[in-house]
Structure 1
């Protein structure tokens, strides 16, 4: 039996916490580990702890979760820390979506790049520096931070460069695209070998093989002829058509990372589909997160009456975290795709950037083989995003609002939609709206408030976006409890996509 302590930071996130704990405790050697949960929301923490403790008990284990709102207490002696925080919660997230809409910036997700992702990074990095300090002072010397929080690259970059904590970023995007590619060819996922490399949410399947045959050049035809994907993945297919390689992230995600598909309101409908939020719905991720939170809070008593999660190896998810810990502790080799400091793994991306690429894990640690150079087009797309990430990280760490504004200007979609004066005013508005979560920007926020109150303002729009849907009420969600439970309980909220309907 392996004995170590694992701490969840942001444990009130039911989708991640419950599933990741099941994955880990399905490993037979981990039946006696220590588990600590931390969250700043005592009520969410209480509910998730009760649910997970019930699962543990029903699986015949004696582990007792140590749940606390005291982060330093939760981190004492931890060998592994899993981070799933959302700084500012859904309140701040709403401003990430709604304020940019006033300036014509229409986002589907807003948690990785674009205006929302940049501001999410400012809030997250400020708190991650505090978390890293507590990890350094309280956790085990060989602690490993497994970061699931977005914006993945920015937070992982800041933790490694400024936080002084060994950090790997983890995402399920590569697995999702791998599954799609196999389906497009009519194959099982395990029959298709891939090499995927780039940066988080812009990772490229640069090699696709089946029984030794290279299928990479045949992928466009396979997607164009697929009944579902040809309608739901129009942006990804167009990028495949023009850049030669398929990108990991969903249609909605990808559409807001590049300047071409969401800059003109009248054209957005051509590129998205409303069968599922992840195909491009305006503010879609905010909507499903809001619905999931409302449902879990209202329906929690029923969750406690339903069957527990069973800790069985065949029921583990495809999230990397438990497999990494298993490999480090047992020596069983695991291959996955991890977000790490580049250090030359991808030759034509900056050495200091956080890249996502294949890696192997065993008792010796996480090893990242050299990928070499990305194809020039995909590398150019990644490098544009990396420039934004670097500016945003430095802005967040140093509280430098000039660098923050430059990150907005360099962002592909923001720059395609807004002129510099509009960007400056948008940043002022977002700084003021998010003051409670941006302690590093005190002076800048004061100056922003003064400008917004005293200077002539540029006109903005009362704009809901090209494809925004109403948040469902709890009563509406009760009509399909299974769907509501899946939404609230899944870490990957785009996992089950509805069949496409044509966007109007």
Structure 2
């Protein structure tokens, strides 16, 4: 079977390749194609990915291409991880928001809106091509941000083979397992909400309730993403655990203040690191001196990863990572990430091996008060050809009010993009709690439409 990655020239491509190749045999994948229309980055990061893949499993056919039709023809599975507009787009997203005194984080609020302007039309085009040339029952796993909006948009256009995936929930769940020192198969917890706007409840170890133990664990606020929050907020939230991205809603002024004090946005930092890395890698023959190329790559990549969320929160990650060799990376057990989520889904979906995981899928009654076709981020049961969200029933007002508001914003944003409707876009941002102003929404929409007119064209 064939798996295609759209956005295979991204900086995270080598890790994506490792995860896919390491687990390919369990789902019968024997051909992998990384596609990207940025040829320079594809022939740097895609090539690093290809060299790493060949060392892990030389029997798998692994190729890179800038031809989307070639990449998608006869594909059984597709992972989308695009950054339309590149790192420069992210910088503009954040700066236009900050110039208006607002948070510009790439998936949340104004920044997420701006990224959706570029991402949604591109993904719709790719999904039409997938429908045309891929296998009839091809599955699409969307990791392109803002994942919730993009997945909702694709589902609204009839692409019901699309599932939204995100590694934030699985990474947080892994952190919880580690502080409890329990095996993955023994731990269970329910996630509900929207992408980058979710909560966790009902933690169990071998069927025994351990929420109290987690809430009172001395490492909860030091060794997990709960480090971003105060225990008082947790109690106020009904003793639910919080997705790290809720930091931007509950501490927005601190996030903005921290960004302004740093002098650089996250996007500007990433752009600078990536430019330095790309420049260094262009001066080396990756195929002939792969060890050195990989060392350059990992050195720069870990500067990015170790500073994750630090600009916005003023805190470093609890675990700082050291630069590994190629062999160390190969020998390190694969932790999955979003590729692991996708492949676990494929295994369960194809074989009937019952599996629990967090996905972005239509609600179908799982959360009371939302429409059946509202795409939600929720714990699901996957078995033979079937995906079922785990019903969580009625949600308390504190969470439900925010979920409904953001879902309304997502719906209106999609409507605006599909119809090129400026007024609808302003309406969407006006109701968003991180903007909550008609005048600011107007400034943002006009600023982004001008900045990205080459992507979005003329609007009504």
| 1:199 shift after superposition | 1.1
- The aligned residue for residue 235 of structure 2 is 241
Q: Does the CA-based 8 Å contact 2:80-2:144 persist in structure 1? A: yes
- The aligned residue for residue 474 of structure 1 is none
- Pick the aligned partner of 2:16 from 20, 23, 34: 20
- Pick the aligned partner of 1:138 from 133, 139, 157: 133
1:305-363 C-alpha deviation (Å, 9 max, x unpaired) = 75257667932424301212233344433321111011212223232211111123333
* Structure 1: distance between partners of 2:78 and 2:224: 37
- The aligned residue for residue 73 of structure 2 is 76
Q: Does the CA-based 8 Å contact 1:201-1:248 persist in structure 2? A: no
Does 66-75 or 208-217 show the bigger shift?
Answer: 208-217
Matched, 1:156 2:151: yes
SS in 1 for 2:357: strand
- The aligned residue for residue 377 of structure 1 is 398
Q: Does the CA-based 8 Å contact 2:359-2:379 persist in structure 1? A: yes
TM-score by length of 1: 0.75
* Structure 1: distance between partners of 2:46 and 2:328: 14
Matched, 1:307 2:326: yes
* Alignment root-mean-square deviation, CA: 3.1
- The aligned residue for residue 365 of structure 2 is 344
The alpha-carbon distance between structure 1 residues 326 and 152, as it changes in their structure 2 partners (threshold 3 A), is same
1:369-416 C-alpha deviation (Å, 9 max, x unpaired) = 33322333222221111111111111111111111101110110111x
Does 392-401 or 57-66 show the bigger shift?
Answer: 57-66
- The aligned residue for residue 45 of structure 1 is 42
Q: Does the CA-based 8 Å contact 2:349-2:382 persist in structure 1? A: yes
Q: Does the CA-based 8 Å contact 2:354-2:383 persist in structure 1? A: yes
- Pick the aligned partner of 2:277 from 286, 293, 296: 296
TM-score by length of 2: 0.81
Aligned residues: 418
1:143-176 C-alpha deviation (Å, 9 max, x unpaired) = 1110111111100011111153510000112123
The alpha-carbon distance between structure 1 residues 170 and 248, as it changes in their structure 2 partners (threshold 3 A), is farther
> Of the two structures, which has the highest relative contact order with CA contacts closer than 8 Å and spacing of 6 or more?
1
SS in 2 for 1:11: coil
- The aligned residue for residue 201 of structure 1 is 196
* Structure 1: distance between partners of 2:276 and 2:232: 36
SS in 1 for 2:326: coil
Structure 1 unaligned regions, length at least 5: 445-504
1:195-243 C-alpha deviation (Å, 9 max, x unpaired) = 11111112211212345543435655447984567994136x4542322
Q: Does the CA-based 8 Å contact 1:146-1:170 persist in structure 2? A: yes
Q: Does the CA-based 8 Å contact 1:178-1:189 persist in structure 2? A: no
| 1:192 shift after superposition | 4.2
| 1:54 shift after superposition | 1.6
Structure 2 unaligned regions, length at least 5: 285-291, 296-324
For 1:328-407, what aligned pairs fall within 5 Å after superposition? 328-407=349-428
The alpha-carbon distance between structure 1 residues 229 and 130, as it changes in their structure 2 partners (threshold 3 A), is closer
